[in-house]
Structure 1
Amino acid sequence: MTAAPAGYRVVEVPEARKAELLDVDHLAFAFEPDAETSAQVPMTLEWDRTVGVEAPDGTLAAVHGSFRLVLPVPGGAVPCAGLTWVGTRPDQRRRGLLSTMIDTHFARSLARDEPVSALYAAEPGIYGRFGYGSAATNVRLTVPRGAALRPVPGSDALAVRFEKLDADGHGPLVQRVHAAAGSGRPGWITRDTDALRRKHLADPPAWRDGAEPLRVVTVLAGDEPRGYALLRRKETWTDGQPAMVVRMHDLAALDAAAAHRLWSVVLDLDLTSAVETPMLAPDDELLQLLVDPRGPRPRVADNLWLRVLDVRAALAARRWSAPVDVVLDVQDARLPANAGRWRVTTGEPGPDGTWDARVEPTHEPADVALDVRELGAVYLGGRSLGALGRAGLVTELVPGTLHRASAAFGWPLAPVCSWAF
């Protein structure tokens, strides 16, 4: 574990030091919210999981926190430490404070029996050196109004309601449908604290960029919500013609019919010219339903970054898409307990056609060698071990084993988290 630099010390940050923490955060991320925005947006940090590094004069030089999350993984779920609010004062950089905070985060997470940590990377070049792998991808589309969709049975029978968002009234609906819509998709983390749920529906004027307040589109079968979309429109006219852009904040649907009905409405609102989607999985229903896949303009970005903290617990918690018996030689420079050879052996298939596995340390010869960063990248089933092997990042030591291991690690649905924490 990296010790704090001389004169610095790691401390827990209680709520009583909230103002100091916010000062570090605002300096690190170059923003300062106005009083109205601060009053409307709840503080989401969990104070028993908030840590800082004090400078020799006792002031906070750097801070970080983590959320107590449940991470859906292939065929299951694991406790997960969601690393967040990582920031260092500009005048305290280049002193090793981030290394100290990351090692502290790892130790505290393992003490809480959280075998994985996840984050969204403000700068993607930072976290790989700490063993985080890019485990998921999201896509945002700009879709022209009127884009045609392939038909889906049952879509026309669903009703639609278009309203101004009422955070208190619509909050339970959003939470319930969002959780159900992600069933079976790795990475689909839900917002499980009141503060996270309220922040997701917060709508201060400073966040609108001149657009309208948030609206909610609800798809219903009778009185039962089957999907929702949160969006806003910004009035724009070009040469006397309406050219509003629909900016989507969030969307979730329980089935193909609900997804089709939602997109049918959103893609054909009066006075609009285009729709900007929220973060979508690379295999989202919309990308399957578009008649003209060339029409939208896609923007692809990294989504969740994942760090395996306990190899044995993490690998045993997920299901496997094919039978496999493979010895992985894992390198981990920061957590020596992970480093070494691990034998992954699947058992009997379950009724869903997937396998569980035993994961044990072994002295047997290794079949595949990889760093813990690549193990994190493939853990959710959205990256291919074989592709990483072709890139020179994974080494096949016994011919044929990389193919079998790649098939076992894979998963039918691409991982994604639909919101940033």
Structure 2
Amino acid sequence: MPPAGAAGHDAGMVTTTPAPVVVAPALPDGYRTVTVPPEREAEYREVDGLAFAMPSTPELEAQLPLTVPFERAMAVEAPDGTLAAVHGSYAFRLPVPGGSVACAGLTWVGVRPDHRRRGILRSMIATHLARSLDRGEPVSALWAAEPAIYGRFGYGSAADSATWTLPRGAALRDVPGSAALTVQLRTADVERDSAVVEAVHAACADRPGWMTRETDVLRRRVFLDPVPWRDGAEPLRLVTVAAPDGEVRAYALFARAEKWEATGAAATVRVRDLAARDAAAAHRLWSFLLDLDLTATVRTPGLALDDPLAALLVDPRGRATLADNLWVRLLDLPAAVAARRWSGDVDVVLELTDALLPGNAGRWRLVTGAADADGLRDARLERTDDRPAVRLDVRELGAAYLGGRSFEAFARAGLLTGESSALRRLDVAARWPVAPVCSWVW
């Protein structure tokens, strides 16, 4: 499967209206926004550790590279010149329905506990949005440590994931071709294995939200395995699934945590990261992980709600925990709308609110064009004075952007208002047959 945008729709910053201006709240007296140079890396890390209460040692810090590029590392400096808060971002391509779009991946957002409740977070978010727009990134996305925070800034929960806890030997339905694939197990080694892992992972990026690890430091980070992180588990292992011609079709990075009970061995298999290019490879991979000796339980990472595992399990009942996955914030509305494909014909007037980007507020006409051979359509967003059929906040529009949310469901929850026929047309046009998910936390 080709990466999103490789042979399909791939839009950048083509807009019909000027990009909106961010309303940036003032910082408290004496505080100022600064960039973070390499010589302040230790201080940058310290603020992040204080904000997230992360235990660390000099030995552990030496093993953990700073993944945020310095040109995208920002902070708020206190009156005494120390850093009071930090944030950063990554330059991603976000797979969207039928294409991809430039995306600022917000990360490392933290305020020191002794500088909270002063409006610093709101100022940092405004800085991030403004810098993203200046770089030509129409969309921002993040993982929310606390889901109650980011909706205030226009981010909408756009994807969910399911973490499965399965017993050893959980039965799977048969898939033709699975038995012909071969499995190889070894201790993971970043120098030897990174290219293979990333090739398979990138080949699965036709799923909305499935961002690839674009820098060497991010690709290496998935292999990091410091002893304090293992919580009693073995060193990180890699299992690959290959076709008869030797091409790797699936992989999983995992570790087993030894445990013994009165009835015998009861180790847990903790899967950190995995991807499979086709159904047979997925079946062969899970058949291996679900039948390791001396184990009793297999715990998956967060998987898409329609991941093949969900359909393959003979007994899926009561074994999955749902969690929010990606949160999406639309910055340049016309560019974001043009970047994705639409599954149906729609011509609807929206009235939007956007507290941080008031230039996005007002009435917009969303219009799709003619269908191509696959039934997909381009769309454009234009200013209009016509009467709106749907009224909503940018938060809900961002939540629906990857095709995994329902406008009608938002209306039933009282989060937007609209004419039933307009909501139905929007849902048909915006929905996508593959559930969105991001497979890794940055």
**Secondary structure of 1:402's aligned partner:** helix
Amino acid at match of 1:337: G
Number of residue-to-residue matches in the alignment? 418
Amino acid at match of 2:187: K
- Looking at structure 2, the residues matched to 15 and 138 of structure 1 have their Cα atoms a distance apart, in angstroms, of 35
- Looking at structure 1, the residues matched to 58 and 280 of structure 2 have their Cα atoms a distance apart, in angstroms, of 43
CA contact (8 A) 1:134 1:306 kept: yes
**Secondary structure of 1:168's aligned partner:** helix
Say which is worse superposed, 153-162 or 27-36, in terms of deviation.
27-36
Residue 240 (structure 1) shift: 4.6
CA contact (8 A) 1:138 1:302 kept: yes
- Looking at structure 2, the residues matched to 10 and 17 of structure 1 have their Cα atoms a distance apart, in angstroms, of 14
Residue 238 (structure 1) aligns with: 261
**Secondary structure of 1:400's aligned partner:** helix
Q: Which runs of 5+ in 1 are unaligned?
A: none
Residue 385 (structure 1) aligns with: 407
Residue 306 (structure 1) aligns with: 328
**Secondary structure of 2:185's aligned partner:** strand
Deviations 1:336-387 (A, max 9, x none): 1111111111111122221111221111111111000101110001111110
Deviations 1:313-335 (A, max 9, x none): 11111111111111111111110
Residue 271 (structure 2) aligns with: 248
- Looking at structure 2, the residues matched to 282 and 153 of structure 1 have their Cα atoms a distance apart, in angstroms, of 23
CA contact (8 A) 1:231 1:246 kept: yes
CA contact (8 A) 1:21 1:63 kept: yes
**Secondary structure of 1:228's aligned partner:** strand
Normalising by structure 2, we get a TM-score of 0.93
Residue 7 (structure 1) shift: 1.1
CA contact (8 A) 1:328 1:342 kept: yes
- Looking at structure 1, the residues matched to 30 and 378 of structure 2 have their Cα atoms a distance apart, in angstroms, of 48
Residue 71 (1) aligns with residue 94 (2):
yes
Amino acid at match of 2:366: V
- Looking at structure 1, the residues matched to 109 and 264 of structure 2 have their Cα atoms a distance apart, in angstroms, of 45
Amino acid at match of 2:124: M
Residue 36 (structure 1) shift: 2.7
Residue 406 (structure 1) aligns with: 427
Choose which of 155, 163, 180 in structure 2 pairs with 1:157: 180
Normalising by structure 1, we get a TM-score of 0.98
**Secondary structure of 2:48's aligned partner:** helix
Residue 39 (structure 1) shift: 2.0
CA contact (8 A) 2:89 2:104 kept: yes
Residue 366 (structure 1) aligns with: 388
Residue 280 (structure 1) aligns with: 303
Residue 152 (structure 1) shift: 0.7
- Looking at structure 1, the residues matched to 96 and 420 of structure 2 have their Cα atoms a distance apart, in angstroms, of 28
- Looking at structure 2, the residues matched to 418 and 129 of structure 1 have their Cα atoms a distance apart, in angstroms, of 25
Residue 418 (structure 1) aligns with: 439
Amino acid at match of 1:292: D
The percentage of counterpart residues that share the same residue type is 61
CA contact (8 A) 1:36 1:204 kept: no
Residue 146 (structure 2) aligns with: 123
**Secondary structure of 1:216's aligned partner:** strand
Deviations 1:202-255 (A, max 9, x none): 111111111100111100012110000111001111105111110001110000
Residue 186 (structure 1) aligns with: 208
CA contact (8 A) 2:408 2:424 kept: yes
- Looking at structure 1, the residues matched to 97 and 364 of structure 2 have their Cα atoms a distance apart, in angstroms, of 19
- Looking at structure 1, the residues matched to 379 and 229 of structure 2 have their Cα atoms a distance apart, in angstroms, of 46
CA contact (8 A) 2:354 2:361 kept: yes
- Looking at structure 1, the residues matched to 107 and 121 of structure 2 have their Cα atoms a distance apart, in angstroms, of 13
Residue 135 (1) aligns with residue 135 (2):
no
CA contact (8 A) 1:42 1:198 kept: no
CA contact (8 A) 1:237 1:244 kept: yes
Amino acid at match of 1:313: A
Amino acid at match of 1:99: R
